[in-house]
């Protein structure tokens, strides 16, 4: 990402792209220079927030930072692929396109709203000198790329690491009672001489899977998910989806791994190996087959899947992005504002989608 951005900057094309998009950006209450951070947001929201520092107008810079998180970063893509592939196998591509388009539309609307509500005064005019086209120098591109990457790693690496460790600890403990009971059951199965080796292995695997699921439900993270579940119940989310959303706060990829642990008991699926296809297909099958204990109807419908995807698209960006917002705007209040407004907006849009879906159905 930084490599190609550095190349476009050194060739002189970046300035022309911002100039060409200035008219469209003005309809959003922004300047042409806001176009580049928003485009970068499709890769990762953190460098997109950092790229907003090139905007001279503080008002446009703040609005750009506030709406950047509505761009679907690559971290959300595994969640989109899982849910869309599970509930919309014939139209998964259309669902993905709709999510990206919805994010752009919401960014457009929220930028106009922030311009009218938060910054009513006239902004600075857009003035830019267009540099001549040049052939980029490899050394200059390398220096620019490394400077941006080093700053990103220095600022965000520790934040992501600490947040991931905290989420892991909340999902791992407590476990002594559940695992002790599982070990007793495994010992009883191993003592049964009437079972064949394959039957014994299957029963032990099932005991371990049930123990993992029970431990996840009783973990601190599971308790947090059950606490926030009443707030998400109007959207059709149960405690399992609530846990996944809470676990996705440090990084959205964790949503998939959390659902995998809850449903399949497998917490070490390698996304680059053949086991990922097996693990994801098992998770998809479990989610499709999940039944409501009261009515016996499918627990997750395509409508709930759409609401879940919309919520993942909009709700609080990763911790690294929140920290980047606070640092770039020199105020922790802006970071808190991003957290609050995105969560409220996610709930409202997902609830409206559910209402409209129920009326149509």
Give the residue from 340, 328, 359, 333 showing the smallest Cα distance to 53. 328
Q: Is 240 part of any domain? A: yes
SS3 104: helix
Query: Which residues pair with residue 60 across a beta bridge?
Result: none
Residue 73 is encoded by which pair of tokens?
């970063």
316 lies in which domain range?
A: 2-173+219-360
pLDDT grade, residue 45 (50/70/90)? confident
Residue 239 pLDDT greater than 50, yes or no:
yes
The pLDDT tens digits for 156-205 are: 677 667 777 787 788 788 888 888 888 888 888 888 877 778 888 888 88
Cβ neighbors of 64 (< 8 A, separation 6 or more) are 30, 34, 37, 38, 52, 55, 111
Weakest mean pLDDT among 59-63, 119-123, 253-257: 119-123
Q: Is 200 part of any domain? A: no
What would the DSSP string read from start to end of 24-70? HHHHTT--GGGHHHHHHTTT-HHHHHHHGGG-S-HHHHHHHHHHHTT
Q: Is 213 part of any domain? A: no
pTM of the model: 0.81
pLDDT of 336 reads: 93
Chain Cα centroid distance, residue 108 = 20
Q: How many independent structural domains does the chain possess? A: 1
- CB of 118 within 8 A of CB of 67? no
Stretch 126-147: mean pLDDT: 84
Q: Is 201 part of any domain? A: no
Q: Is 180 part of any domain? A: no
pLDDT of 273 reads: 43
pLDDT of 285 reads: 82
pLDDT of 199 reads: 81
pLDDT grade, residue 268 (50/70/90)? very low
Residue 269 pLDDT greater than 50, yes or no:
no
The pLDDT tens digits for 312-356 are: 999 999 888 898 899 888 888 999 999 999 999 999 999 999 999
Angle formed by the axes of helices 2-11 and 13-20, nearest 10° = 90
Give the residue from 108, 69, 118, 106 showing the smallest Cα distance to 349. 106
Q: Is 187 part of any domain? A: no
pLDDT of 272 reads: 45
Q: Is 115 part of any domain? A: yes
pLDDT of 280 reads: 60
Q: Is 212 part of any domain? A: no
pLDDT of 93 reads: 92
- CB of 110 within 8 A of CB of 78? no
Quote the CA–CA distance of 233 and 236 in Å, as a whole number.
5
Residue entry with tokens 């032990």: 204
């Amino acid at each position: 990402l930084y490599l190609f951005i550095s190349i476009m900057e050194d060739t002189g094309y970046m300035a022309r792209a911002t100039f060409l998009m200035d008219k469209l950006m003005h309809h959003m209450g922004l300047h042409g220079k806001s176009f580049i951070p928003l485009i970068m947001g499709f890769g990762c929201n953190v460098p997109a927030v950092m790229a907003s520092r090139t905007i001279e107008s503080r008002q446009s810079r703040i609005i750009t930072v506030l709406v950047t998180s509505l761009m679907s970063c690559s971290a959300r893509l595994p969640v989109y692929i899982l849910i869309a592939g599970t509930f919309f196998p014939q139209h998964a591509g259309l669902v993905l396109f709709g999510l990206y388009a919805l994010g752009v539309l919401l960014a457009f609307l929220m930028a106009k709203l922030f311009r009218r509500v938060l910054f009513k005064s006239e902004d600075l005019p857009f003035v830019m000198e267009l540099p001549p086209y040049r052939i980029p120098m490899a050394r200059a591109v390398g220096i620019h790329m490394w400077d941006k990457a080093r700053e990103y790693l220095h600022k965000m690496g520790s934040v992501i690491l600490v947040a991931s460790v905290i989420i892991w600890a909340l999902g791992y403990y407590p476990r002594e009672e559940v695992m002790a009971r599982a070990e007793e059951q495994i010992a009883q199965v191993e003592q049964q001489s009437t079972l064949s080796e394959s039957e014994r292995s299957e029963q032990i695997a099932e005991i371990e899977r049930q123990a993992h699921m029970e431990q996840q439900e009783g973990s601190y993270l599971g308790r947090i998910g059950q606490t926030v579940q009443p707030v998400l119940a109007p959207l059709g989310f149960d405690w399992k989806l609530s846990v996944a959303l809470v676990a996705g706060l440090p990084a959205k990829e964790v949503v998939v791994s959390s659902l995998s642990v809850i449903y399949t008991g497998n917490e070490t699926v390698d996304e680059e190996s053949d086991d990922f296809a097996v693990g994801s297909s098992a998770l998809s099958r479990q989610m499709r087959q999940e039944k409501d204990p009261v009515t016996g109807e499918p627990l997750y419908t395509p409508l709930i899947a759409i609401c879940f995807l919309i919520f993942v698209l909009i709700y609080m960006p990763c911790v690294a992005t929140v920290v980047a917002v606070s640092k770039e705007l020199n105020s922790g209040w802006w970071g808190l504002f991003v957290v609050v407004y995105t969560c409220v907006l996610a709930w409202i849009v997902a609830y409206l989608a559910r209402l409209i879906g129920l009326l149509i159905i």
